[in-house]
Amino acid sequence: MSLINISSQISDQPNARLVARSLASVWHPCTQMKQHADFPLIPIQSGDGVWLTDMAGKRYLDGVSSWWVNLFGHANPRINAALVAQLNSLEHVMLAGCTHEPAVELAERLAGLTGLGHAFYASDGASAVEIALKMSFHYWRNVGQPFKQKFVALSNSYHGETLGALAVTDVALFRDVYHGLLNNNIITPAPVPSVHQLDDNFPCCIACAEEAAQALEQLLMQRHHEIAAFIVEPLVQGAAGMRMYHPHYLVRARQLCTAYNVHLIADEIMTGFGRTGTMFAWTQSHAPRPDFICLSKGITGGYLPLSCVLTTDTVYAAFYDDATARGFLHSHSYTGSALACRAALATLDIFESDNVIALNAKNAPLFNQYCLPLREHPRVKNFRHLGMIWAFELETRRTAFAQYFFAEAVARGLLLRPIGYTVYFMPPYVIDAETFKWMVDQTLAILDNINE
Protein backbone atom coordinates (compact mmCIF):
# COMPACT_ATOMS: atom_id res chain seq x y z
CA MET A 1 0.00 0.00 0.00
CA SER A 2 1.42 3.38 -0.92
CA LEU A 3 1.72 6.21 1.56
CA ILE A 4 -0.69 8.24 -0.57
CA ASN A 5 -3.33 5.53 -0.19
CA ILE A 6 -2.90 5.56 3.55
CA SER A 7 -3.28 9.33 3.49
CA SER A 8 -6.61 9.05 1.75
CA GLN A 9 -7.84 6.77 4.55
CA ILE A 10 -7.57 9.69 6.92
CA SER A 11 -9.35 12.05 4.62
CA ASP A 12 -12.76 12.06 6.28
CA GLN A 13 -13.83 15.56 7.20
CA PRO A 14 -13.02 16.08 10.92
CA ASN A 15 -9.70 14.27 10.61
CA ALA A 16 -8.71 16.08 7.43
CA ARG A 17 -9.57 19.48 8.86
CA LEU A 18 -7.47 19.02 11.99
CA VAL A 19 -4.55 17.62 10.00
CA ALA A 20 -4.67 20.59 7.62
CA ARG A 21 -4.76 23.08 10.52
CA SER A 22 -1.92 21.27 12.25
CA LEU A 23 0.26 21.27 9.15
CA ALA A 24 -0.43 24.97 8.68
CA SER A 25 0.36 25.98 12.27
CA VAL A 26 2.34 23.35 14.21
CA TRP A 27 5.98 22.50 13.56
CA HIS A 28 6.04 18.86 14.64
CA PRO A 29 8.99 17.37 16.55
CA CYS A 30 11.59 15.10 14.99
CA THR A 31 9.92 15.53 11.61
CA GLN A 32 10.81 16.57 8.08
CA MET A 33 7.55 18.46 7.60
CA LYS A 34 7.60 18.03 3.82
CA GLN A 35 7.11 14.29 4.26
CA HIS A 36 3.67 15.02 5.64
CA ALA A 37 2.61 16.07 2.17
CA ASP A 38 1.78 12.42 1.56
CA PHE A 39 2.48 10.85 4.92
CA PRO A 40 -0.46 11.35 7.26
CA LEU A 41 -0.52 12.85 10.70
CA ILE A 42 -2.85 10.95 12.99
CA PRO A 43 -5.34 13.39 14.48
CA ILE A 44 -6.02 12.06 17.98
CA GLN A 45 -9.13 13.13 19.80
CA SER A 46 -9.09 10.96 22.89
CA GLY A 47 -7.34 8.17 24.71
CA ASP A 48 -8.53 5.30 26.84
CA GLY A 49 -6.18 2.68 28.27
CA VAL A 50 -3.84 1.43 25.55
CA TRP A 51 -6.04 2.89 22.79
CA LEU A 52 -6.05 6.26 21.06
CA THR A 53 -9.02 7.38 18.96
CA ASP A 54 -8.98 9.77 16.02
CA MET A 55 -11.59 12.39 15.12
CA ALA A 56 -13.56 9.89 13.06
CA GLY A 57 -13.63 7.25 15.78
CA LYS A 58 -10.89 4.98 14.43
CA ARG A 59 -8.82 3.40 17.20
CA TYR A 60 -5.04 2.92 17.32
CA LEU A 61 -3.18 0.75 19.79
CA ASP A 62 -0.41 2.82 21.38
CA GLY A 63 2.35 0.23 20.95
CA VAL A 64 5.14 2.66 21.86
CA SER A 65 3.53 4.25 24.94
CA SER A 66 3.51 7.65 23.22
CA TRP A 67 7.29 7.96 22.98
CA TRP A 68 7.92 5.67 25.94
CA VAL A 69 6.10 7.75 28.56
CA ASN A 70 2.76 6.10 29.19
CA LEU A 71 2.72 3.33 31.78
CA PHE A 72 -0.84 2.85 32.95
CA GLY A 73 -2.87 3.85 29.94
CA HIS A 74 -4.42 7.04 28.64
CA ALA A 75 -7.05 8.77 30.77
CA ASN A 76 -6.18 6.57 33.71
CA PRO A 77 -8.96 7.11 36.29
CA ARG A 78 -6.60 7.06 39.27
CA ILE A 79 -4.12 9.56 37.86
CA ASN A 80 -7.02 11.70 36.60
CA ALA A 81 -8.59 11.80 40.07
CA ALA A 82 -5.29 12.72 41.73
CA LEU A 83 -4.78 15.54 39.23
CA VAL A 84 -8.29 16.92 39.65
CA ALA A 85 -7.83 17.00 43.43
CA GLN A 86 -4.45 18.72 43.05
CA LEU A 87 -5.91 21.19 40.57
CA ASN A 88 -8.44 22.25 43.14
CA SER A 89 -5.78 23.10 45.73
CA LEU A 90 -2.57 24.22 43.97
CA GLU A 91 -1.61 24.04 40.31
CA HIS A 92 1.89 25.52 40.50
CA VAL A 93 4.10 27.80 42.51
CA MET A 94 7.72 28.63 41.80
CA LEU A 95 10.07 26.31 43.60
CA ALA A 96 12.69 28.98 44.33
CA GLY A 97 11.83 30.43 47.73
CA CYS A 98 8.68 28.27 48.04
CA THR A 99 7.96 24.60 48.45
CA HIS A 100 4.89 22.36 48.40
CA GLU A 101 3.77 18.94 49.52
CA PRO A 102 3.81 17.10 46.15
CA ALA A 103 7.42 18.18 45.38
CA VAL A 104 8.60 17.19 48.85
CA GLU A 105 6.77 13.87 49.00
CA LEU A 106 7.98 12.93 45.53
CA ALA A 107 11.60 13.76 46.40
CA GLU A 108 11.30 11.67 49.57
CA ARG A 109 9.83 8.70 47.76
CA LEU A 110 12.38 8.85 44.92
CA ALA A 111 15.15 9.00 47.51
CA GLY A 112 13.68 5.88 49.11
CA LEU A 113 13.67 4.10 45.75
CA THR A 114 17.13 5.13 44.55
CA GLY A 115 19.17 5.86 47.67
CA LEU A 116 19.94 9.32 46.28
CA GLY A 117 18.59 11.97 48.59
CA HIS A 118 18.71 15.26 46.71
CA ALA A 119 16.15 15.80 43.95
CA PHE A 120 16.50 18.64 41.45
CA TYR A 121 13.42 18.97 39.26
CA ALA A 122 13.04 20.07 35.65
CA SER A 123 10.63 19.35 32.83
CA ASP A 124 11.84 17.11 29.99
CA GLY A 125 14.47 14.42 29.81
CA ALA A 126 17.02 16.59 28.05
CA SER A 127 16.79 19.25 30.75
CA ALA A 128 17.58 16.60 33.37
CA VAL A 129 20.65 15.59 31.37
CA GLU A 130 21.73 19.24 31.14
CA ILE A 131 21.40 19.55 34.90
CA ALA A 132 23.40 16.42 35.66
CA LEU A 133 26.19 17.55 33.31
CA LYS A 134 26.27 21.05 34.77
CA MET A 135 26.18 19.76 38.34
CA SER A 136 29.07 17.41 37.69
CA PHE A 137 31.13 20.14 35.98
CA HIS A 138 30.38 22.62 38.77
CA TYR A 139 31.08 20.04 41.49
CA TRP A 140 34.63 19.52 40.27
CA ARG A 141 35.14 23.28 40.15
CA ASN A 142 33.82 23.67 43.67
CA VAL A 143 36.15 20.98 45.01
CA GLY A 144 39.22 22.50 43.35
CA GLN A 145 39.51 20.32 40.23
CA PRO A 146 38.43 22.78 37.52
CA PHE A 147 40.20 20.89 34.74
CA LYS A 148 37.64 18.10 34.86
CA GLN A 149 35.36 19.49 32.15
CA LYS A 150 34.79 16.75 29.61
CA PHE A 151 32.09 14.11 29.45
CA VAL A 152 32.28 10.55 28.17
CA ALA A 153 29.36 8.85 26.45
CA LEU A 154 28.87 5.54 24.67
CA SER A 155 28.84 5.13 20.91
CA ASN A 156 25.23 5.29 19.68
CA SER A 157 24.14 6.93 22.92
CA TYR A 158 21.09 9.17 23.02
CA HIS A 159 20.58 11.69 25.81
CA GLY A 160 18.35 14.35 24.25
CA GLU A 161 18.35 17.23 21.82
CA THR A 162 19.32 20.38 23.74
CA LEU A 163 22.90 21.46 23.14
CA GLY A 164 24.46 19.93 26.25
CA ALA A 165 22.52 16.69 25.90
CA LEU A 166 23.23 16.54 22.17
CA ALA A 167 26.93 16.91 22.91
CA VAL A 168 26.80 13.54 24.72
CA THR A 169 24.56 11.98 22.06
CA ASP A 170 26.14 9.88 19.32
CA VAL A 171 23.36 9.55 16.76
CA ALA A 172 24.65 11.15 13.56
CA LEU A 173 21.24 12.09 12.20
CA PHE A 174 20.47 14.25 15.21
CA ARG A 175 23.95 15.49 15.94
CA ASP A 176 26.02 16.07 12.84
CA VAL A 177 24.37 19.24 11.56
CA TYR A 178 24.86 20.94 14.94
CA HIS A 179 28.46 19.80 15.29
CA GLY A 180 29.79 23.36 15.35
CA LEU A 181 27.63 24.20 18.36
CA LEU A 182 28.56 21.23 20.49
CA ASN A 183 31.23 20.72 23.11
CA ASN A 184 33.86 18.28 22.12
CA ASN A 185 33.17 15.29 24.37
CA ILE A 186 34.54 11.77 24.20
CA ILE A 187 32.81 8.70 22.78
CA THR A 188 33.79 5.25 24.04
CA PRO A 189 32.62 1.96 22.46
CA ALA A 190 29.21 0.69 23.58
CA PRO A 191 29.04 -2.82 25.09
CA VAL A 192 26.92 -4.08 22.19
CA PRO A 193 28.00 -5.40 18.84
CA SER A 194 26.82 -3.54 15.77
CA VAL A 195 23.33 -4.69 14.78
CA HIS A 196 24.89 -6.13 11.66
CA GLN A 197 27.21 -8.39 13.62
CA LEU A 198 24.92 -9.78 16.27
CA ASP A 199 25.39 -13.38 17.26
CA ASP A 200 23.22 -15.85 19.11
CA ASN A 201 24.35 -14.54 22.47
CA PHE A 202 22.77 -11.19 21.85
CA PRO A 203 21.61 -9.29 23.86
CA CYS A 204 23.54 -10.69 26.80
CA CYS A 205 27.04 -10.84 25.42
CA ILE A 206 29.31 -10.63 28.46
CA ALA A 207 32.43 -10.66 26.27
CA CYS A 208 31.21 -7.51 24.47
CA ALA A 209 30.58 -5.92 27.85
CA GLU A 210 34.09 -6.72 29.06
CA GLU A 211 35.72 -5.57 25.83
CA ALA A 212 33.91 -2.23 26.03
CA ALA A 213 34.80 -1.93 29.72
CA GLN A 214 38.46 -2.36 28.84
CA ALA A 215 38.17 0.47 26.32
CA LEU A 216 36.62 2.65 29.03
CA GLU A 217 39.44 1.68 31.39
CA GLN A 218 42.10 2.74 28.89
CA LEU A 219 40.33 6.03 28.33
CA LEU A 220 39.89 6.85 32.01
CA MET A 221 43.43 5.79 32.81
CA GLN A 222 44.80 8.23 30.24
CA ARG A 223 42.41 11.17 30.57
CA HIS A 224 40.66 11.04 33.96
CA HIS A 225 42.19 14.35 35.01
CA GLU A 226 40.11 16.14 32.33
CA ILE A 227 36.93 14.03 32.63
CA ALA A 228 34.04 15.13 34.85
CA ALA A 229 31.55 12.34 34.21
CA PHE A 230 30.62 9.28 32.24
CA ILE A 231 26.96 9.18 31.15
CA VAL A 232 25.25 5.92 30.28
CA GLU A 233 21.81 4.54 29.40
CA PRO A 234 21.70 1.48 31.68
CA LEU A 235 21.05 -1.88 29.93
CA VAL A 236 19.30 -0.50 26.81
CA GLN A 237 20.36 2.12 24.30
CA GLY A 238 16.85 3.10 23.32
CA ALA A 239 17.04 5.59 20.47
CA ALA A 240 19.92 3.65 18.89
CA GLY A 241 17.43 0.85 18.25
CA MET A 242 16.76 -0.83 21.60
CA ARG A 243 20.31 -2.15 21.81
CA MET A 244 20.45 -4.25 24.96
CA TYR A 245 23.63 -5.14 26.79
CA HIS A 246 24.90 -7.16 29.71
CA PRO A 247 24.80 -5.62 33.22
CA HIS A 248 28.46 -6.62 33.62
CA TYR A 249 29.31 -3.40 31.81
CA LEU A 250 27.63 -1.32 34.50
CA VAL A 251 29.51 -3.14 37.24
CA ARG A 252 32.80 -2.43 35.52
CA ALA A 253 31.84 1.16 34.69
CA ARG A 254 31.01 1.81 38.33
CA GLN A 255 34.33 0.33 39.48
CA LEU A 256 36.28 2.35 36.93
CA CYS A 257 34.53 5.65 37.61
CA THR A 258 35.20 5.24 41.31
CA ALA A 259 38.82 4.26 40.74
CA TYR A 260 39.48 7.23 38.44
CA ASN A 261 37.41 9.81 40.30
CA VAL A 262 34.90 10.35 37.53
CA HIS A 263 31.15 10.80 38.15
CA LEU A 264 28.79 8.17 36.83
CA ILE A 265 25.50 9.53 35.47
CA ALA A 266 22.79 6.90 34.89
CA ASP A 267 20.33 8.22 32.32
CA GLU A 268 17.22 6.24 33.29
CA ILE A 269 14.92 8.55 31.35
CA MET A 270 13.72 5.69 29.16
CA THR A 271 14.71 2.69 31.30
CA GLY A 272 13.30 3.94 34.61
CA PHE A 273 9.97 3.08 36.20
CA GLY A 274 9.87 -0.61 35.43
CA ARG A 275 10.58 -0.57 31.69
CA THR A 276 13.44 -3.08 31.89
CA GLY A 277 11.80 -5.31 34.49
CA THR A 278 13.06 -3.63 37.66
CA MET A 279 12.06 -0.20 38.93
CA PHE A 280 15.39 1.12 37.64
CA ALA A 281 17.62 -0.70 35.16
CA TRP A 282 20.73 0.12 37.18
CA THR A 283 19.74 -2.23 40.02
CA GLN A 284 20.09 -5.26 37.72
CA SER A 285 23.84 -4.70 37.84
CA HIS A 286 23.91 -4.95 41.68
CA ALA A 287 26.67 -2.35 41.47
CA PRO A 288 26.87 0.51 43.98
CA ARG A 289 24.57 3.34 42.99
CA PRO A 290 25.50 5.97 40.39
CA ASP A 291 26.45 9.53 41.41
CA PHE A 292 23.50 10.95 39.46
CA ILE A 293 20.28 9.43 38.15
CA CYS A 294 18.24 11.27 35.52
CA LEU A 295 14.53 10.44 35.44
CA SER A 296 11.66 11.59 33.23
CA LYS A 297 9.22 10.01 30.71
CA GLY A 298 7.33 7.39 32.79
CA ILE A 299 7.76 9.41 35.98
CA THR A 300 4.29 10.98 35.57
CA GLY A 301 2.76 7.92 33.91
CA GLY A 302 2.89 9.85 30.66
CA TYR A 303 0.73 12.73 31.85
CA LEU A 304 2.84 15.85 32.31
CA PRO A 305 6.38 17.00 31.59
CA LEU A 306 8.55 16.35 34.61
CA SER A 307 12.13 15.31 35.06
CA CYS A 308 14.37 14.93 38.04
CA VAL A 309 18.07 14.57 38.77
CA LEU A 310 18.89 12.72 41.96
CA THR A 311 22.34 12.90 43.49
CA THR A 312 24.45 12.08 46.51
CA ASP A 313 25.14 13.87 49.80
CA THR A 314 28.73 14.37 48.62
CA VAL A 315 27.69 16.27 45.51
CA TYR A 316 25.10 18.28 47.40
CA ALA A 317 27.59 19.21 50.11
CA ALA A 318 30.03 20.64 47.58
CA PHE A 319 27.48 23.32 46.64
CA TYR A 320 26.37 24.15 50.20
CA ASP A 321 28.29 27.31 51.02
CA ASP A 322 28.13 30.97 52.03
CA ALA A 323 29.05 32.01 48.49
CA THR A 324 26.01 32.29 46.22
CA ALA A 325 28.01 31.47 43.11
CA ARG A 326 29.05 28.10 44.57
CA GLY A 327 25.36 27.14 44.65
CA PHE A 328 23.62 25.48 41.74
CA LEU A 329 21.85 28.47 40.20
CA HIS A 330 20.09 26.57 37.43
CA SER A 331 16.30 26.96 37.10
CA HIS A 332 13.25 26.51 34.89
CA SER A 333 9.98 28.37 35.46
CA TYR A 334 7.96 25.17 35.86
CA THR A 335 10.52 23.36 38.01
CA GLY A 336 8.68 21.00 40.34
CA SER A 337 5.19 21.78 39.01
CA ALA A 338 2.70 20.68 41.68
CA LEU A 339 0.47 19.07 39.08
CA ALA A 340 3.31 17.12 37.49
CA CYS A 341 4.59 15.98 40.90
CA ARG A 342 1.07 14.89 41.83
CA ALA A 343 0.83 12.82 38.65
CA ALA A 344 4.18 11.23 39.59
CA LEU A 345 2.92 10.42 43.09
CA ALA A 346 -0.24 8.85 41.67
CA THR A 347 2.01 6.81 39.35
CA LEU A 348 4.12 5.59 42.26
CA ASP A 349 0.92 4.73 44.16
CA ILE A 350 -0.17 2.49 41.28
CA PHE A 351 3.26 0.77 41.28
CA GLU A 352 2.77 -0.01 44.97
CA SER A 353 -0.89 -0.89 45.13
CA ASP A 354 -0.90 -3.06 41.99
CA ASN A 355 2.51 -4.62 42.55
CA VAL A 356 3.32 -3.62 38.99
CA ILE A 357 6.88 -4.93 38.75
CA ALA A 358 5.75 -8.42 39.81
CA LEU A 359 2.72 -8.26 37.53
CA ASN A 360 4.86 -7.33 34.52
CA ALA A 361 7.26 -10.16 35.35
CA LYS A 362 4.31 -12.54 35.36
CA ASN A 363 2.92 -11.27 32.04
CA ALA A 364 6.19 -11.09 30.12
CA PRO A 365 6.66 -14.87 29.60
CA LEU A 366 3.16 -15.10 28.12
CA PHE A 367 3.84 -12.14 25.85
CA ASN A 368 7.10 -13.82 24.84
CA GLN A 369 5.18 -16.91 23.82
CA TYR A 370 2.97 -14.81 21.59
CA CYS A 371 6.13 -13.44 20.01
CA LEU A 372 7.40 -16.92 19.04
CA PRO A 373 6.13 -16.74 15.42
CA LEU A 374 7.87 -13.38 15.09
CA ARG A 375 11.10 -14.78 16.50
CA GLU A 376 10.94 -17.56 13.90
CA HIS A 377 9.88 -15.38 10.99
CA PRO A 378 12.41 -15.61 8.11
CA ARG A 379 12.73 -11.81 7.90
CA VAL A 380 13.33 -11.30 11.63
CA LYS A 381 16.82 -11.08 13.12
CA ASN A 382 18.11 -10.51 16.65
CA PHE A 383 14.79 -10.86 18.42
CA ARG A 384 15.34 -9.63 21.97
CA HIS A 385 13.34 -8.84 25.04
CA LEU A 386 13.95 -7.14 28.36
CA GLY A 387 11.23 -6.29 30.86
CA MET A 388 8.48 -4.56 28.87
CA ILE A 389 10.54 -3.99 25.70
CA TRP A 390 10.55 -6.30 22.67
CA ALA A 391 12.68 -5.55 19.59
CA PHE A 392 14.04 -7.10 16.41
CA GLU A 393 15.65 -6.14 13.13
CA LEU A 394 13.97 -6.67 9.78
CA GLU A 395 15.77 -8.20 6.83
CA THR A 396 14.48 -6.34 3.79
CA ARG A 397 15.85 -4.24 0.97
CA ARG A 398 12.88 -1.91 1.19
CA THR A 399 14.01 1.71 1.39
CA ALA A 400 12.31 4.08 3.84
CA PHE A 401 11.31 0.96 5.74
CA ALA A 402 10.41 2.75 8.96
CA GLN A 403 7.91 4.99 7.16
CA TYR A 404 6.51 2.09 5.20
CA PHE A 405 6.01 0.00 8.34
CA PHE A 406 4.53 2.92 10.28
CA ALA A 407 1.97 3.56 7.54
CA GLU A 408 1.06 -0.10 7.22
CA ALA A 409 0.63 -0.37 10.98
CA VAL A 410 -1.48 2.79 11.17
CA ALA A 411 -3.77 1.44 8.46
CA ARG A 412 -4.31 -1.56 10.75
CA GLY A 413 -4.94 0.56 13.83
CA LEU A 414 -1.54 0.03 15.38
CA LEU A 415 0.85 2.81 16.37
CA LEU A 416 4.47 1.63 16.09
CA ARG A 417 7.50 3.70 15.09
CA PRO A 418 10.41 1.56 13.92
CA ILE A 419 13.91 3.01 14.29
CA GLY A 420 15.56 2.31 10.94
CA TYR A 421 15.13 -1.44 10.43
CA THR A 422 14.46 -2.04 14.13
CA VAL A 423 10.85 -2.73 15.05
CA TYR A 424 10.01 -2.60 18.73
CA PHE A 425 7.04 -2.98 21.05
CA MET A 426 6.97 -0.84 24.16
CA PRO A 427 3.32 -0.84 25.17
CA PRO A 428 1.78 0.65 28.32
CA TYR A 429 1.98 -1.88 31.14
CA VAL A 430 -1.81 -2.22 31.22
CA ILE A 431 -1.91 -3.99 27.86
CA ASP A 432 -3.76 -7.30 28.23
CA ALA A 433 -2.73 -10.64 26.72
CA GLU A 434 -5.31 -10.58 23.96
CA THR A 435 -4.33 -7.09 22.82
CA PHE A 436 -0.63 -7.94 22.94
CA LYS A 437 -1.31 -10.97 20.73
CA TRP A 438 -3.30 -8.78 18.35
CA MET A 439 -0.32 -6.41 18.10
CA VAL A 440 1.97 -9.34 17.23
CA ASP A 441 -0.50 -10.71 14.69
CA GLN A 442 -0.77 -7.36 12.94
CA THR A 443 3.01 -7.09 12.84
CA LEU A 444 3.29 -10.58 11.35
CA ALA A 445 0.74 -9.70 8.69
CA ILE A 446 2.78 -6.63 7.72
CA LEU A 447 5.98 -8.68 7.53
CA ASP A 448 4.29 -11.32 5.40
CA ASN A 449 3.29 -8.66 2.88
CA ILE A 450 6.76 -7.21 2.41
CA ASN A 451 7.99 -8.44 -0.93
CA GLU A 452 11.41 -6.81 -1.17
Footprint of ligand PLP on this chain (CB under 6 A)?
124-126, 129, 158-160, 233, 238-239, 267, 269-270, 296
- Residue (374 or 426) nearer to ligand PLP, CB: 426
| Contact in structure between 318 and 98 (CB atoms under 8 Å) | no
Closest approach, Cβ 238 to ligand PLP, in A, equals 4
Closest approach, Cβ 199 to ligand PLP, in A, equals 25
Strand partners, 307: 122
Q: Burial letters for 421-450: b for 16+ Cβ neighbours within 10 Å, e otherwise?
A: bbbbbbbbbbbeeebbebbbebbeebbeeb
- Residue (152 or 447) nearer to ligand PLP, CB: 152
Which pairing describes strands 51-54 and 263-267: parallel, antiparallel, or unpaired? unpaired
- Residue (160 or 274) nearer to ligand PLP, CB: 160
Which pairing describes strands 243-244 and 263-267: parallel, antiparallel, or unpaired? unpaired
- Residue (40 or 160) nearer to ligand PLP, CB: 160
Which pairing describes strands 307-311 and 118-122: parallel, antiparallel, or unpaired? antiparallel
Could you write out the DSSP letters of every residue in 102-138? HHHHHHHHHHHHHS--EEEEESSHHHHHHHHHHHHHH
Closest approach, Cβ 124 to ligand PLP, in A, equals 4
- Residue (164 or 238) nearer to ligand PLP, CB: 238
- Residue (174 or 319) nearer to ligand PLP, CB: 174
- Residue (239 or 287) nearer to ligand PLP, CB: 239
Closest approach, Cβ 158 to ligand PLP, in A, equals 5
Closest approach, Cβ 125 to ligand PLP, in A, equals 2
Closest approach, Cβ 237 to ligand PLP, in A, equals 8
Closest approach, Cβ 128 to ligand PLP, in A, equals 7
| Contact in structure between 419 and 402 (CB atoms under 8 Å) | yes
- Residue (142 or 284) nearer to ligand PLP, CB: 284
| Contact in structure between 365 and 372 (CB atoms under 8 Å) | no
- Residue (40 or 305) nearer to ligand PLP, CB: 305
CB atoms within 10 A of CB 209: 22
| Interaxial angle between packed helices 206-223 and 248-259, expressed in degrees from 0 to 180 and rounded to the nearest 10 | 10
- Distance between CA 68 and CA 80 in Å, rounded? 19
- Residue (76 or 300) nearer to ligand PLP, CB: 300
In this chain, which residue has its C-beta nearest to ligand PLP?
A: 125
Closest approach, Cβ 277 to ligand PLP, in A, equals 17
Question: Under 8 Å CB-to-CB from 85, ≥6 apart: which residues?
Answer: 342
Closest approach, Cβ 350 to ligand PLP, in A, equals 21
Nearest to 298 by CA among 235, 340, 353, 354: 340
Q: What is the CA radius of gyration of the chain?
A: 22
| Contact in structure between 421 and 431 (CB atoms under 8 Å) | no
H or E element at residue 437: helix 433-449
Closest approach, Cβ 88 to ligand PLP, in A, equals 28
- Distance between CA 202 and CA 197 in Å, rounded? 10
- Distance between CA 170 and CA 160 in Å, rounded? 10
With left for phi above 0 and alpha for psi between -120 and 50, is residue 211 left, alpha or beta? alpha
Closest approach, Cβ 291 to ligand PLP, in A, equals 17
- Residue (239 or 339) nearer to ligand PLP, CB: 239
Half-sphere exposure of 47 (CA within 13 A, CB side): 21
Range 445-451, long-range pairs (CB < 8 A, 24+ positions): 445/412, 446/405, 446/408, 446/409, 446/412, 447/374, 447/377, 447/379, 447/380, 447/394, 449/408, 450/379, 450/394, 450/396, 450/398
